Amino acid sequence: MTLASLTKPWEAMSYGFLDASAKRELRRKMLKAIAVPGCQMPYASREVPMARGWGTGGLQVTLTLLKPSSVVKVIDQGADDSVNAASIRSFLSKVSGATETWDTTEATILQSRHRIPEERLRADQVLVLQVPNPEPLRPVEPNMSVARQMHADADYGRLWLILYEQIVRSGRVMQGAAYPSLVNGRHVMTPSPIPRWDVPKLHMAQHLTFLSAGREKRLYAVPPFTRVEPLVFSDVPYQVEDHAALTCHRSGVSGYFMNEIPQDDGSSAFEVSDSHLGIKTIRQAEGAAIRIGPTWYENGKMPQ
């Protein structure tokens, strides 16, 4: 008998990069987060080969979810090909053997910064959102232990107060991205800096969403079929960005969230923000056998 036969062969790292105890802790917190939708769970954020603030929170959740048969899609502001998205995606496949994809309909795990894809997610898919600042009460309560008590008391009057004052001052709600939303009628969460356009996609969705902030060491979840209601006054309806009528200058699709591209002549062109939806549309038009999944918005409107 040799020593070598008693031990496992040398490996550069654990499966999925994080060691077993880190994953166990994260899984516990993820289960807790599912059990109390929208409630922030503290966790011990680990070192990953990426600087905090670049999606380390999302990355840790994704690493914990991965298995060899996973299919991962990573987007940054809707794009699969940005440097950050591409390097996270290749890191994920390298440490887990998971398959990489750009196609929303093929992915089993989607990690995203600031957008939710336009194609509807299904019950067998998990969305992981990277969150810079998980605390919706931060603008009204700088002391985080007081903020935690306010969550415990469901004391959200001051969040409404901010909206009230925006309407008083500007005639409308000015809150753009990261619109505070009530989850399951109990906890207010920051849905990460997704645009207002994307918030309704979380409401009663089929898929599970995790939101994780690595620097702030907090994660929370929206389980499938959970109410996610943006804070709105009964007489001032929630409004998504005015993008329904815009057309993508490259793919020709319209009725989706667009990126504004400033032109040399001072005007603006628009490009669909979910870049792979644009690619699929173009290839379909060219005659390729491409399947575009059902989208949340239809003709620029979200069916109720």
Q: Report the alpha-carbon distance of residue 58 to residue 213 in Å, rounded.
A: 7
Please tell me whether residue 234 binds another protein under the rule CB under 8 A. yes
Distance CA 221, CA 30 (A): 7
CA 175 – CA 75 distance, rounded (Å): 23
145 binds another protein (CB under 8 A): no
Q: How many CB atoms lie within 10 A of CB 249?
A: 14
Is there binding between residue 161 and another protein (CB under 8 A)?
yes
Residue 225 within binding range of another protein, rule CB under 8 A: no
3-state SS class at 189: strand
C-alpha span between 124 and 283 (Å, rounded): 26
Distance CA 100, CA 93 (A): 7
Task: Tell which one of 1, 3, 83, 168 touches another protein (CB under 8 A).
Answer: 168
Interface with another protein (CB under 8 A), residue from 11, 124, 153, 265: 153
Out of 49, 142, 157, 185, the only residue in the binding site for another protein (CB under 8 A) is: 157
Between residues 136 and 223, which has the closer beta carbon with respect to another protein? 136
Interface residue with another protein among 236, 268, 285, 291 (CB under 8 A) is 236
CB of 198 to another protein, least distance (A): 23
Residue of 62, 129, 50, 45 whose CA lies nearest to 100 = 62
Smallest separation, CB 155 to another protein (Å) = 7
| Cβ at position 139, least distance to another protein in Å | 11
63 or 182: CB nearest another protein:
182
Are 218 and 38 in contact by the 8 Å Cβ rule? The answer is no
Enumerate residues 6+ apart whose C-beta is below 8 A from 156: 137, 150, 182, 188, 231
Q: Can you tell me which of 50, 84, 160, 215 binds another protein, judged by CB under 8 A?
A: 160
Among 7, 11, 12, 235, binds another protein (CB under 8 A): 235
Residues in contact with another protein by CB under 8 A are: 152-155, 157-158, 160-161, 164-165, 167-169, 233-236
